[in-house]
Amino acid sequence: MEYFIIIISAIFVSNIVLNQFLGICPFIGVSGKVSTSIGMSGAVLFVLTIATMVTWLIQIYILIPFGITFLQTIFFILVIAALVQMVELILKKVSPPLYQALGIFLPLITTNCAVLGVAIQAHSKNFNLMESVVFAIASAIGFGLAMVIFAGMREHLDLMKVPAGMKGVPIALVTAGILAMAFMGFSGLV
């Protein structure tokens, strides 16, 4: 039951993008097309899961025993940067169109505060390794769900008549706000 609560909470109630406002840069920047947002969500899922697992191990077996927990953010950022480089190399070989479609946003996962935020939250919530991994996967699924829904809405908005002053980023921000309010409806679940 505890894992179920973590999953529901991370995906819907405390959605990393729509509730905690982490990872807004890729959320706004890559959500122009559903296909691109699915690719970005997959990359974030991989990086977020592995980064949370590795950072949890570093926190428990290196930072705490040596009394250097004040270096947590630096260690976590280095781990995330290394993982993003690995994902970038894999995407370049496996899916060159997706690699080119993501463009500058793939290296931005390095500075995506959602990845760092989930890694830090997993430790601050005193999760064990399995709970941390479940939390990371659920947070990434919540990130992906929000991105894909938002991308679908933006694709639909491109077909609609939008006033000239609202085209582009303004209507995207209004739509993101409405989507965030919709996700607030889940706040009573957990």
How high is the pLDDT of residue 104?
67
- Least Cα distance to 45 among 72, 23, 19 occurs for 23
pLDDT tens column, 144-153: 999 999 999 9
| 73: in domain | yes
CA distances, 112 to each of 15, 90, 180 (Å): 15, 19, 19
Instruction: Using the structure block, give the residue that is written with the tokens 């959605």.
Output: 15
| 190: in domain | no
Q: Name the percent of the chain lying above pLDDT 70.
A: 96
Round to whole Å and give the CA distance between 71 and 127: 20
Round to whole Å and give the CA distance between 115 and 164: 35
Model confidence at 63, in pLDDT bands (50, 70, 90)? very high
| 38: in domain | yes
Sign of the four-CA dihedral 111, 117, 118, 119: positive
| 189: in domain | no
- Are the C-beta atoms of 142 and 15 separated by less than 8 Å? yes
Domain that holds residue 144: 2-184
| 110: in domain | yes
pLDDT tens column, 111-122: 678 899 999 999
Instruction: Using the structure block, give the residue that is written with the tokens 């250097």.
Output: 68
- Are the C-beta atoms of 115 and 48 separated by less than 8 Å? yes
Q: What is the mean pLDDT of residues 12-41?
A: 86
| 119: in domain | yes
- Any idea what DSSP says for residue 1? -
Instruction: Using the structure block, give the residue that is written with the tokens 């999760």.
Output: 127
How high is the pLDDT of residue 102?
67
Sign of the four-CA dihedral 173, 167, 153, 31: negative
Q: What is the mean pLDDT of residues 167-189?
A: 88
- Least Cα distance to 22 among 101, 112, 85 occurs for 112
- Give me 119's structure tokens: 């890694």
The more confidently predicted of residues 111 and 100 is 100
How high is the pLDDT of residue 15?
92
- Ranges of H-type helices in the chain: 2-8, 24-29, 34-58, 72-94, 96-102, 113-124, 129-159, 169-184
| 159: in domain | yes
| 98: in domain | yes
Q: How many domains does the chain have?
A: 1
Secondary structure of residue 71 in the 3-state scheme: helix
